[in-house]
Amino acid sequence: MQKLTRDDLFSLEQYAEQRGSFRDKVLQHKRNRRLELGTNAALYFEDRLTMQYQVQEMLRIEKIFEADGINEELETYNALIPDGSNWKATFMIEFPEEGQRREMLTQLIGIEDRVYVQVVDFDRVFAIADEDLERSDKHKTSAVHFLRFELPSEQVTAVKAGASFVAGIDHDNYQVEVSPVADNVRQSLLEDLS
């Protein structure tokens, strides 16, 4: 999947004019890229469009219009665009009540390394977590992680040929498997493998 360049972005003025319609387009797109993993965790699969939205929002919020600042945002968020052999996702641990969330984050240390996808008839592929910086310590994990699922070529071929897959978490304190992943999500993720 092609990375974003400055030519792909709206100027701050253009974005202000188109923000509403662009946001609606992205939200519709994201509906097919969210995968709930039980009641308290979810994967939000990223791609070129979701990252363009993220960059545009950061430029808008921070009022960044100089080349160096724009290039820095592109470098940061381009890392979350799939490369054709992987899926990239924001993993969120979602406990609505703050006290419970704080307690659970101490019980879920290492969960980010136990999230997996499994193409039917193949081994599980566990996520490579937080390549940009460490988000856990010996006391707790973070509620947000960035994951990469690097698929061997034979699994990419199988998914492209129609194989279904499951996703889950295999952690001592949180176990869940979604089997199979819904077809709308599967179809959306197929595009990441080209």
pLDDT band, residue 167 (cuts 50/70/90): very high
Domain boundaries, the chain: 1-31+48-81, 83-194
Q: 163: number of CA atoms within 13 Å, CB side?
A: 15
Residue 120 confidence (pLDDT): 94
Backbone angles phi, psi at 59, to 5 degrees: -60, -40
Contact between 86 and 79 (Cβ < 8 Å): no
User: What distances in angstroms separate CA 22 from CA 27, 42, 45, 62, one per listed residue?
Assistant: 9, 24, 18, 19
Q: pLDDT, tens digit, for every residue of 25-70?
A: 999 999 999 999 999 999 999 999 999 999 999 999 999 999 999 9
Within 8 A by CB and 6+ apart from 123, the residues are none
Query: For the whole model, what pTM was predicted?
Result: 0.92
Integer distance in angstroms from the first to the last C-alpha of the chain?
7
Q: Say if residue 180 is preceded by a cis peptide, omega within 30 of 0.
A: yes
Per-residue pLDDT at 137 exceeds 90: no
> What is the mean pLDDT of the segment spanning 78-100?
95
Query: Domain 83-194 maps to which CATH number in 2.60.40, 1.10.10, 3.30.450, 1.10.15?
Result: 2.60.40
Contact between 185 and 32 (Cβ < 8 Å): yes
* b/e per residue 63-72 (b: at least 16 CB within 10 A): ebeeeeebee
Instruction: Kindly report the number of other CB atoms within 10 A of residue 110's CB atom.
Output: 12
Backbone angles phi, psi at 4, to 5 degrees: -80, 145
pLDDT band, residue 144 (cuts 50/70/90): very high
The residue among 191, 105, 102, 116 whose CA lies nearest residue 147 is 116
Cα angle vertex 19, ends 77, 132, to 5°? 10
Checking DSSP bridges between strand 144-150 and strand 165-171, what pairing results, if any?
unpaired
